[in-house]
Structure 1
Amino acid sequence: MQSFPVLHTKRLTLTALKSEDRDSLLSIFSDPHVTYYDGGKVMKTATQAQHYISAFKDVTSISTTNTIRWGVRLKETMELIGTAGFQNWDRTSSKAEMGAILSRDFWSDGYGLEAAKAVINYGFRHMHLHKIYAQTIENNRAAVKRLEQLGFQKEGTFRDHVYLRKQYYHVLVYSLFQ
């Protein structure tokens, strides 16, 4: 990969994160409702947001982190509304874990599905993935619904797999094959 891929959908453009995204990223990841099922840790400083951007901002970060993370932007304004991408990219087994986070202001408008479809398409066509998987806490009904809408099938449950807010949660594993 010589340059960071840019993905286009009807309403979105997915690009590399940029330093100027720092404040928007901090706003998204500092919302406890947004991070509730994603470890529950909120971003608290602009420095944390800048570290996040630095970790995923260019094509070299893909090979060093086995992660590709796009900034999800509204096509018309290029406003950053979230991130989406793959982590735990295992090139030997041709699989990667998909994840996405969107600003609460953009929930329930289909933006998450639209971004996910673009990411999935890129994974199968350009990364030559055989399997895309996702994990979510069992109580995250919205994520389960979205995964099923995207065609993911439940593979199993990791019982008492994540400890958050003073209790253990089951984690569901979903997969999609090319």
Structure 2
Amino acid sequence: MNNSLFHSLEGENIYFKGLSIHDLQEIHNYASDKDVSRFIGWNLMNTLNETCEHIEKMLKRESAGTHLYASIVQKSTQAIIGTAMIFNFDQEANQAEIGYVFHQDHWGMGYGTESVALMSDFAFKSLNLHKLHASVVDANIGSIRILEKNEYELEGRLKDHYFIEDKYYDALLFGKITKF
């Protein structure tokens, strides 16, 4: 897997860079936000130490070749505003899952849409994947819109799949097949 290429993806308003423990505070700023972590599958990071352990786990996964992670940097401020990931690679079916998380201050500004476009283009052209997919909590309207803007199609629904804060939510399954 080409980690260095993934870490060098660049769009109009953002660019990717490799995860680093040196960026602990910036990552903790959104990893410790209850509203941010609510629907993404990460545990809420209450301390810098918890965030540090999480970053170390992500770095180990990436070095093992099972995941790709990148910090998403806003060009205008050089601030880390989120994390992009490609994971759950299925070599036989030639597909993988994507995910993304953003600091709440940067929601609704197009950075998610741009990040998914960069990841999709990379996965289809550089990794030669046939399909990408994402699983989204049905209440996460922003994430659903990001996928739809990137031409991901709703492929299914898993009823009461997530149990978050004493409530059940459906999982919406989105997919995109390469056109290349």
Find runs of 4+ consecutive structure 1 residues off by over 4 angstroms. none
Which residue pairs with 2:27 in the alignment?
25
**Aligned equivalent of 2:15:** 13
Q: Distance in 1 between matches of 2:34 and 2:119?
A: 25
Whole-angstrom distance in 1 between the partners of 2:65 and 2:126: 18
> Mapping of 1:29-44 within 5 angstroms?
29-39=31-41, 41-44=43-46
Partner of 2:62: 62
Deviation at 1:156, TM superposition (A): 0.6
Quick check: 1:138–1:169 contact (8 Å CA) kept in 2?
yes
Q: Tell me: CA distance 1:2–1:158, structure 2 relative to 1, closer, same or farther (3 Å).
A: closer
User: 1:96 matched to which residue of 2?
Assistant: 96
Query: What RMSD over aligned residues (CA atoms) do the two structures have, in Å?
Result: 1.8
Gaps of 5+ in 1: none
| TM-score under structure 1 length normalisation | 0.91
Preserved contact between residue 116 and residue 146 of structure 2 (Cα < 8 Å): no
Q: Deviations over 1:120-149 (max 9, x none)?
A: 111111111111000111122221122111
Question: What displacement does 1:40 show?
Answer: 6.9
How much identity, in percent, do the aligned residues show? 25
Separation (CA, whole Å) in 2 of partners of 1:51 and 1:40: 12
Q: More deviation in 47-56 or 159-168?
A: 47-56
Q: TM-score, normalised by structure 2?
A: 0.90
Q: Distance in 1 between matches of 2:165 and 2:64?
A: 32
For 2:42 and 2:97, how far apart are their aligned partners in 1? 19
